[in-house]
Amino acid sequence: MQPITFLKLGGSLLTHKDQPATPRPEVIRRAAGEIAAARQANPDLRLLLGHGSGSFGHVPAKQHGTRAGVRSPGDWLGFVEVWRQANALNRLVMDALAEVGLPAIAFPPSAAGLAHGGRLAAWPPAGLQAALAAGLLPVVYGDVVFDGEWGGTIASTEDIFVHLAAELRPGRILLAGDEDGVYAGYDGADARLLAEFSAADMAAMGEGAAVGADVTGGMAGKVAAMFPLLATLPDCEVRIFSGLRPGNLAQALAGEPLGTRLR
C-alpha cells in the first residue's frame, strides 16, 4: 500500500488574497481536474486534500483577531463569520471536485478538531482513515476550532497536516500556492528559486510573497510549520511549488520534483 500523500491547495492559489471573498473559479476547476487525472493515472494514490481559506477566511479573521483567541460576545460573532467564510470557499472547492467525478467528502476542522492555547491538540483520525480505506477523497481546510484555553482560534491547513501526520504518516506533503517555491532575495532583482531549503536557512528568509490578509504566517509560517514534522518523519518529502502553472498539480502528484524541497 502506498503511503498517503497530503496535498494543500493554498488560499493564494484559490483566491485573490487582496480582494475579500474573491475566488479564482478557473483555478479551482483546473486544480480539481488535475487531481482527478492524477487519481485516474494512479488508482493506488491515497490522498488527503487540504486547502487554505484565502481572502474568504483570512479577512474576517484579521478583522476580529480570531487567531489570538475568542472571549467576548463580539469575538464569538467574528468566530462564526470566519467559519461561514471558510465554509463558503470549501463549498466551491467541493462542488468543483464533484463536477469532475471525485468522491470527495469534507471534514471541517470546526467539527472535528480541538485546540489548546492556540495549538491544534486533538483530532480523532478514525473518520479520515475510514474514508481513505473506502477509496474516498477526504478534504480538510483552514477553519476555526474551539480552544480549551482561548475559547476559540484558527487551525491552518499546515497545523492540521502536522497534527494528522503523527497518525497517518504521509510519504509526501505537497504545498501548492501561487509561487514557484521558496526564493532567496525575493525582494531584489537577483531573486532565485531554491531547489532545497533547510531549517538552518530559515532565519535568512522573510515573509516571501504573502499579499493581502494572512493571519497564519505567510510563506515563512508555512515553511516553519513543516520543520518539526520533518524532525519526526525524516523520510517524508515536503515540497512547495506553484499550482498556477497548468499541469503542475498532476505532475507533482505523479512524483515530479517541482519547486523547493524542504529538508
pTM for this one? 0.91
pLDDT for res 205: 53
pLDDT for res 116: 98
Q: What CATH number did the domain enclosing 236 receive?
A: 3.40.1160.10
> Which three cell numbers, joined as nine digits, stand for 159?
497545523
Of the candidates 24, 141, 136, the residue with the CA atom closest to the CA atom of residue 82: 141
Q: Quote the domain boundaries for residue 138.
A: 5-262
Q: Which residues contact 134 (CB under 8 A, 6 or more apart)?
A: none
pLDDT at 8 over 80: yes
Q: Phi and psi dihedrals of 132, rounded to 5?
A: -65, -40
Please tell me the distance from the alpha carbon of residue 13 to that of residue 51, in angstroms, as a whole number.
9
> Which three cell numbers, joined as nine digits, stand for 107?
471534514
State the total domains in the chain.
1
Burial class of 147 by CB neighbour count within 10 A (0 to 12, 13 to 18, 19+): buried
pLDDT at 219 over 90: no
Res. 212 pLDDT band, cuts 50 70 90: very low
Cα 105–chain centre separation: 16
Please state, for a pLDDT cut of 70, what percent of the chain lies above it.
91
pLDDT at 257 over 70: yes
Residues 11-31: b if buried by 16+ CB within 10 A, e if exposed: bbbbbbbeebeebbeebbbbb
Q: What is the mean pLDDT of the chain?
A: 91
Please tell me the distance from the alpha carbon of residue 65 to that of residue 92, in angstroms, as a whole number.
25
8 A C-beta contact, residue 146 and residue 83: no
For 195, other C-beta atoms within 10 Å of its C-beta total 11
pLDDT in tens, 14-36: 999 889 999 999 999 999 999 99
